Amino acid sequence: MTDVGPQTSRTNRLAEIGVTYPFRIFDVDQGPWPRKITSIPAGSKGAKITGWYKWPWEYGTNLRRIDDPLPTGVVDNTPKGKSMGVQRVQRILNQLRYDDRFPPDTFRVCYEVGETTDSNDNEGLASKDFCSWVHDPSTYGYIAPRRLVRIERRWDGVPFWDRTTGIDLLHDAESQGCVAYGIASLVQDDAAFLQAAGASPHMDGTDIRKAEFEIFQDEFSSEQVKGVVWPVRSWADRGLTLSRGPDFEDNRKALSGTILQNAPWSEIDDYVKGNRRGPLI
């Protein structure tokens, strides 16, 4: 069998996750390497991505070092997940139903196959959008809470609650969320996609993931959009070294041609450390 080329692999990966051109890509800011103005695709806008977890590992990004391994404890395989009782599951369903912080069309429920299932998936599981979930035990289609396995985000399958692993984000969904800033670019074809992601033409696109992020239209308005992240950008230079100060040659090179080129060192320090409330564009 002939191996497919990297461009075909990227196209296949996009088809696999249900994304077609044109689409938007979020490219995270990386502290030590403020992006060169000339590298920003035309029409790009500042953007923000927010995860459910303390680390934005669900999108394959990190605020400072994009290639960091997943933090210890992100996936919890301890037995605690198996001890979640029916009452706890019912409370979660009730809060997702009535709490305005959780839009119902965001979620999908996965459950064990039984008499009332209407669609079968792999490994004896079925799934149903939370919008069509039946809450009344006396109504046809009702599924007992004890059969729930996972509640996940519809767009990309990231778990919000999982019986097996013990993931339970109901109480801390807002406080735990991790925010990363960057830019969002609309790409029309493979060449534009490579440029926006800072990717090599030889990369096969295995790490392309669905994502939802917020694009800032101006100082007062923003728009929530669906798109992708592809966290593969790498840098040949060493980037900013805060301890060496503004006169260090490598620091001057890293800042040359960026928005921060003439900024006070205190602003550069805040950017590298992630102490800011907006994107650098």
Q: What is the mean pLDDT of each run of 10 residues along the chain (281 residues)?
A: 81 94 92 90 91 56 38 40 65 83 85 60 78 91 90 83 78 58 95 94 90 86 90 79 91 93 92 82 78
What predicted TM-score, i.e. pTM, was given to this entire model?
A: 0.65
pLDDT value of position 232: 83
pLDDT value of position 76: 35
pLDDT value of position 2: 56
Distance between CA atoms of residues 100 and 96, nearest Å: 8
pLDDT value of position 60: 56
Q: Report the 10 Å Cβ neighbour count for 96.
A: 21
Find out whether 215 and 10 touch, Cβ atoms under 8 Å.
no
pLDDT value of position 235: 73
pLDDT value of position 58: 55
Distance between CA atoms of residues 144 and 193, nearest Å: 45
HEC sequence for 109-142: EEEECCCCCCCCCHHHEEEEEHHHCCCCCCCCCC
Rounding to the nearest 10 degrees, give the CA dihedral for residues 232, 238, 242, 243. 140
Q: How far, rounded to the nearest angstrom, does the alpha carbon of residue 65 sit from its chain's CA centroid?
A: 15
